[in-house]
């Protein structure tokens, strides 16, 4: 992604940043649904305790719906969390959309990059979009230290198995 071309952070480190817990919790509160499983995490980045797939599991080839079933919590359906490597979010967005059509709800955290093909193909008109308009998220390194200087704003797409008005946008404030 060109926005990250001048970054001084090595690409492997950028791809291993994690969502701050307070952001994850605010998103759960906003959508009012339990996020039960993290589909692309590591032990130190997962927001869902022991419920995650890591690089070894390669969740891009796993059938998420078949693997997890269409489970429900006491509050109703649960959602999956996806904060993919920003060096290649398109394949993750395509996977999230396709899995949502099998009956899952997937909530993502992505760079607000509406001009890209991956955004136009797999986010726009395929997910409900929550914008984070007032501040850039300072993602955390492996030690939980916020890393300032995020060159992009963020969007929180919500892929769902049922129809929703894709033109309705929610503004999310941190």
Segments making up each domain of the chain, as ranges:
2-136+146-171
Q: How many residues does the chain have?
A: 174
Pairing of strands 35-38, 79-82: parallel
Here the tokens at position 165 are: 């008005």
Residue 89: pLDDT band by 50, 70, 90 thresholds?
A: very high
Mean pLDDT of 147-153: 84
| Whole-number pLDDT of residue 8 | 65
Looking at every residue in the chain, the average pLDDT score rounds to: 84
- Per-residue confidence at 1, pLDDT binned at 50, 70, 90? very low
The pTM (predicted TM-score) of the whole model is 0.85
DSSP state at residue 162: S
Compute the distance between CA of residue 28 and CA of residue 32 in angstroms, rounded to an integer: 6
CATH number of the domain at 2-136+146-171, please? Answer: 3.40.50
**In angstroms, rounded to a whole number, what is the distance separating the alpha carbons of residues 88 and 77?**
28
pLDDT band with cut points at 50, 70 and 90 for residue 161 = confident
More confident residue, 4 or 7: 7
Tell me the pairing of strands 154-159 and 128-132: antiparallel
Contact 140, 146 (CB under 8 A): yes
- Helices (runs of H) and strands (runs of E) counted in the chain: 5, 9
Instruction: Name the token pair of 94.
Output: 């395509």
Terminal Cα-to-Cα distance of the chain (whole angstroms):
25
């Amino acid at each position: 992604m060109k926005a990250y071309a001048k970054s001084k952070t090595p690409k492997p480190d950028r791809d291993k940043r994690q969502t701050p817990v307070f952001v994850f919790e605010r998103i759960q509160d906003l959508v009012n649904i339990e996020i039960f499983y993290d589909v692309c995490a590591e032990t130190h980045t997962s927001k869902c305790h022991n419920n995650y797939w890591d690089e070894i599991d390669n969740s891009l080839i796993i059938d998420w719906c078949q693997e997890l079933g269409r489970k429900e919590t006491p509050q109703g359906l649960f959602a999956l969390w996806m904060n993919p490597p920003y060096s290649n979010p398109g394949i993750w967005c395509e996977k999230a959309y396709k899995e949502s059509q099998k009956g899952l709800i997937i909530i993502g955290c992505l760079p607000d990059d509406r001009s890209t093909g991956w955004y136009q193909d797999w986010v726009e008109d395929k997910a409900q979009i929550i914008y984070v308009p007032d501040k850039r998220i300072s993602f955390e390194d492996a030690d939980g230290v916020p890393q300032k200087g995020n060159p992009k704003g963020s969007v929180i797409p919500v892929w769902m198995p049922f129809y929703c008005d894709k033109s309705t946008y929610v503004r999310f404030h941190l």
